[in-house]
Structure 1
Amino acid sequence: MRGWRPATEEALYGPRGFYRRPEGPAGHFRTSVHASPLFAGAVARLLRLVDEALGHPAELAFVDLGAGRGELVRAVLKALPAEVASRARGYAVERAARPAGLDHRIEWLPEPPSGVSGLLFANEWLDNVPVDVVEVDAHGVPRLVLVAADGTESLGEPVGGADARWLEKWWPLPHPADGPPPADSPPPAEGPSPVDSPPPAEGPSPVDGPSPADSSSSAEGLRAEIGRPRDTAWASAVAALGRGLAVAVDYGHDAGARPPFGTLTGFREGRETAPVPDGSCDITAHVALDACALPGGRLLSQREALRTLGVSGDRPPLTLAATDPAAYVRALAGAGEAAELTARGGLGDFGWLTQPVGIPDPFPLPLPLADPLPKQEKPSP
């Protein structure tokens, strides 16, 4: 058995990993990119704002981080006006092989290009950066969750070092009332599965936790996902950008509302399933976007971001139906797609982390960093 982080790395990106499969991610779940071309149009408008902030450089980069099969980068380049498109260069960053027939303007890379100027956009990338999972044992001690190839879990060693410090700062778990068990105390034989063993209806908050007077057993079973690898991955991606704006879009949570039993799960063919690290399914966990944010970064919801970029779910006026019925039908369809992208309880609740690099923030939203992020499920195809 091994921790969830190395197991997920192999299951997603190994030679027989999920993201090497020929059908690509779109065969298993639906992102904003697949929901409507309006999403790519909004990203193209954001790229134009970045272009203006950069002073219209000779080469304007659009870096699609976690590009899948290149759907977003293709659509963004297509949505640009001719003058901007003539200067635009697309970079698709993905571990899978380059798909056949991809636009020659798009460079296919395993890592973000270094020193380019433009927009780096990571749509549902951070949730697939593997993380380890910890669980509080019967003594109140957070231990690493180990997993076998068939998804069977057990508890391993207590968490320490940099991972323990990350948890203390970003996802505090209750401390044991009587201290840790003796060093030679064996871990429990097996821990509950996050899917097959549902949590009780009510449980203590991972932030507030039980007081020292509480029994340490009241915290047993609480989980957290150590987001330190995601913080590092995001910082590395931002550092690769010479000048411009980096944006991460994902479903997540903030320090005021960490999920007490974690979020690790699997997806296969449009349905949520047990996370089994054998390459047969996507393995994903929500993102602590507030922990990823670097100085100058901001958090906002997708609903706020897309509406600012001109995507509205408002119905067209009925008068248009009388004067131009075909235009009314098209506008109504567009409003339906926009409503899906901005819906509360759905895609609209995704978080956007914006990070300007060497330029004033081009995003016209004076929002604070700690905009709450409601829990969001990954949509089915």
Structure 2
Amino acid sequence: MVWQSWRSAWHDALYGPDGFYRQVSGPAGHFATSAQGIPGGGRLLARALVILAERSGCTRLVDVGAGRGELLAEVAAIAPGLRLTGVDVVERPAELPEVADWLRSPGGTGLPDDLRGIEHALVIAHEWLDVVPCTIAEYDGAVWRTVEVDPDGDERLADPVAGSDLQWLQQNWRTNATEGDRAEIGTTRDAAFRELRARIDSGVLVAVDYGHLRDDRPEWGTLTGYRDGVQCPPRPDGSTDITAHVAMDTLGADELVCQHTLFDRLGLRPEAPAIALASEDPPAYLRALAERGSYAQLTATGGLGDFWWAITRIDH
């Protein structure tokens, strides 16, 4: 039996030689995100990013954790003048638009060596930090202990949390923990965000994820898995996506705003089509209804509308 910390096993399961994110089907083969899998969702997300880029004077868009380039394709279709770069752990996808550059990443907290000195760019990390592996800890009634896991997903409590992980817990987690409480320690996510920010000379960094703030930390953690389109227990054997919500307020971003609020602020809410359009131009009427449906999905409270956008503006 091989026991590892969740942080180590999680990294191997997603980014190792046979890791989940290196599979041919990619994430789209297992679950839907705003960028792919929701009809019209990718186009709406792309519009939001293009508006942010235009308002910030950005001439480039960099997608970190780009999957198979689905979001870049949507951006290319509506903003052909933007310079595009995708970053992920696989080789350049065959379906990626020719106008887009591609950099291969080592995965996890790692970034490509060539991703430096980024200027006049909007850098989007969409559902990237939630798959940056972190230490999972459980409170045993006296101290926080690191949780270890075997390849089948069975767990045990190991050594007490120490060092920077313990310091992070003490500064950023609830102080009234009870036996059995779980925590996802955000040191690796914070470091990944800082490193990505350091690679940008000018522009805007946006991290988008499900997350929580200090006053609303989940008592039992959020670590979970997805396989074949279904949520399932996390299993670090390469067959399952493994994800956990992000402590958004520890990243050090300039602004935190929920997706439903931001989309409304950006003027993305579509008008209801006139009933007369149904007879005058049925295809246009159906397109308008579909657009409203996409907006409703991406801004739904209790769903995708609760995504946090951590926005940082950089001008050295």
2:167 to 162, 165, 168: 165
Q: Distance between the aligned counterparts of 1:143 and 1:16, measured in 2? A: 29
The partner residue of 1:311 within 268, 271, 274 is 268
- For 2:69, the equivalent position in structure 1 comes to 70
> Is contact 1:313–1:337 with CA below 8 Å preserved after alignment?
no
Instruction: Render the CA deviation track for 1:211-253: whole Å, top value 9, x for unaligned.
Output: xxxxxxxx11111010110000001111111101000100011
Matched, 1:93 2:97: no
> Of 110, 120, 123, which aligns to 1:120?
123
User: Aligned equivalents of 2:283 and 2:17: distance in 1?
Assistant: 49
Deviations 1:236-290 (A, max 9, x none): 1111111010001000111110000000010001111111100000000000011
Q: CA deviation at 1:115?
A: 1.4
1:257 maps to which of 209, 216, 234:
216
- Matched residue count: 301
The code of the aligned residue for 1:230 comes to R
Q: Deviations over 1:324-354 (max 9, x none)?
A: 4332222111111111111111111111000
- Higher mean alpha-carbon deviation, 5-14 vs 103-112, is at 103-112
**TM-score relative to the length of structure 1:** 0.76
- Compare the two structures and name the one with the higher strand fraction: 2
For residue 315 of structure 1, give the secondary structure of its aligned residue in structure 2: coil
The whole-number CA distance in structure 2 between the counterparts of 1:154 and 1:173 is 23
**Partner SS, residue 344 of structure 1:** coil
Shift in alpha-carbon separation, 1:248–1:292, aligned structure 2, 3 A: same
Q: Does 1:107 align with 2:101?
A: yes
Structure 1: which 5+ residue stretches go unaligned? 55-59, 175-208, 210-218, 360-381
Matched residues in 1 for 2:299 and 2:274: separation? 20
In 1, are the aligned partners of 2:14 and 2:20 still within 8 Å (CA)?
Answer: yes
- The one-letter code of the counterpart of 1:246 is L
Q: Which runs of 5+ in 2 are unaligned?
A: 106-110
Partner secondary structure for residue 225 of structure 2: strand
| Larger-Rg structure | 1
**Identity across matched positions, percent:** 46
CA distance in 1: counterparts of 2:200 and 2:56, whole angstroms: 13
**Within 5 Å, which residues of 2 pair with 1:316-355?**
316-355=273-312
| 1:199-210 superposed matches below 5 A | 209=177
In the TM superposition, residue 98 of structure 1 has moved relative to its aligned partner by 1.5
Partner of 2:7: 5
Which ranges of 4 or more aligned residues in structure 1 deviate by more than 6 Å?
Answer: none
Amino acid at match of 1:229: T
Match of 1:150 in 2: 152
SS of the aligned residue for 2:246 comes to coil
Supply the RMSD in Å over aligned alpha carbons: 1.6
Secondary structure of the structure 2 residue equivalent to 1:93: strand
Deviation, 1:173, is 4.4
Deviation at 1:10, TM superposition (A): 0.3
- State the secondary structure of the residue aligned to 1:321: helix
SS at match of 2:211: coil
Determine helix, strand or coil for the equivalent of 1:241: coil
Q: TM-score, normalised by structure 2?
A: 0.91
Structure 2 counterpart of 1:199: none
| Contact 2:174-2:214 at 8 Å conserved across structures | no
